[in-house]
Amino acid sequence: MHYFDTVVVGAGLAGATAARVAAEKGKKTLVVEQHRHIAGHCHDAKNEVGITIHTYGPHIFHTNNKEVWNFVRRFSDFNYYQHRVLSYTEGCFIPFPIHTETINELFGIQIAASEVPNFLAEQVRTSSFDTPPKTFRDAIVSQVGEKLYTTFFENYTRKQWGRDPSLLSPEVAARIPVKANRDGRYFSDTYQGIPSQGYTAMVHAMLDHPNISVMLGADWFALKDELEASTTVFTGELDRFFDFKYGKLEYRSLDLVFKTFDKERYQPASVVNYPNDYDWTRITEYKYFLDEKSPSTTVCFEYPKSEGEPFYIVMTKENMERREHYMREVAALEKTGRWLFVGRLAEYKYYNMDQVIAAALHKTGTI
């Protein structure tokens, strides 16, 4: 039996943050990670042409939380990248998310930003949907109307989630920004950027503390009977922790296909969505993120799939009901003071990166 003050399951952002907080409180901390690398799904590395690739798809850091921003900047400088996305539809690259220029280009009109609310209200007035929204479709159409919904969201959602949008919870739509202005940035947060040496380097710095030990390629479930800890911070899959007693929770995965081309640029923005054409949902061109210079460029095609590495929770009624059963078990364990559950997988909850860090800072502050 090996004793530690704190055992952290997972070396992603939740786990690395929790480990750092515990270590700085003088706790001897072991981080157990099943992958053979740190940084979880924000892992990145330079490829053969010197471009920093995000192994599990693009990650853009953005936050309005000053505490979180100050925390991450302890471990990395940032390239102050402002994320802009285009959507390829009807043979054109149209700015996304929906804002004044999107509407003008798609409808072939010229309205001012001040006219956007009235324009959208008219689109909504002539559309049909349930109030309050019962589904993803209702949530989008109630904001922007049917034309914008069918152009940008309907088929993209079918590809992304593998089901009709009417079967998805309206909460899924909470992430989608709509702007009544000319701000073409995807995010409007006060603080935005990409760690200048990459996310892996930032997480490495977070874990670089004399009180932290890291085991890579190690399955905590196989080792847990040999580990004793005052507190265990779990960031893995919620249903697996409880041996699937209430049934399996559903996740969506991605088939990520990387291609390098012998050209300076492949597309006119770092990310281009493909809501209606082709089988992929989007293409990411990575050299935009850190302004990397190379005569070649590397892009990533994303093909959603139902099995594989768990990327996204699936917010259906059935999954959310299962989650409630599991979270009652979590609450009972956390009351003992010996367990903490943090992160997307462990809470079966959609989190942005800053929200993961904020949750980890908050919860591990009680250790």
Query: What's the pLDDT at 365?
Result: 83
Identify the CA nearest to 283 among candidates 295, 267, 304: 267
- Is 97 in the same domain as 170? yes
Q: What is the SS3 assignment for 19?
A: helix
Asked if residue 93 lies in contact with residue 268, where contact means CB atoms within 8 angstroms, the answer is yes
- Same domain? 68 vs 144: no
The count of structural domains within the chain is 3
Clarify whether residues 160 and 143 are in a common domain: yes
Tell me the C-alpha distance between 7 and 19, whole Å. Answer: 8
Q: Any idea what the CATH number is for the domain that residue 71 is in?
A: 3.40.50.720
- Give the integer Cα–Cα distance in Å for 187 and 165: 24
Whether residue 170 sits in one domain with residue 100: yes
Contact criterion met (CB below 8 Å) for 124 and 143: yes
Residues of the domain holding 16 = 2-79+192-246+316-364
The token duo for 148 is 């914008």
Instruction: Compute CA 49 distance to the chain's CA centroid, rounded to the nearest angstrom.
Output: 26
Pairing of strands 271-273, 282-285: antiparallel
Q: Tell me the pLDDT of the chain (367 aa) as tens digits.
A: 899 999 999 999 999 999 999 999 999 999 999 999 999 999 999 999 999 999 999 999 999 999 999 999 999 999 999 999 999 999 999 999 999 999 999 999 999 999 999 999 999 999 999 999 999 999 999 999 999 999 999 999 999 999 999 888 888 887 667 888 889 999 999 999 999 999 999 999 999 999 999 999 999 999 999 999 999 999 999 999 999 999 999 999 999 999 999 999 999 999 999 999 999 999 999 999 999 999 999 999 999 999 999 999 998 889 999 999 999 999 999 999 999 999 999 999 999 999 999 999 999 987 7
Q: What is the distance between the alpha carbons of residues 125 and 91, in angstroms, rounded to a whole number?
A: 28
Task: Specify the DSSP element, H or E, that contains 354.
Answer: helix 353-364
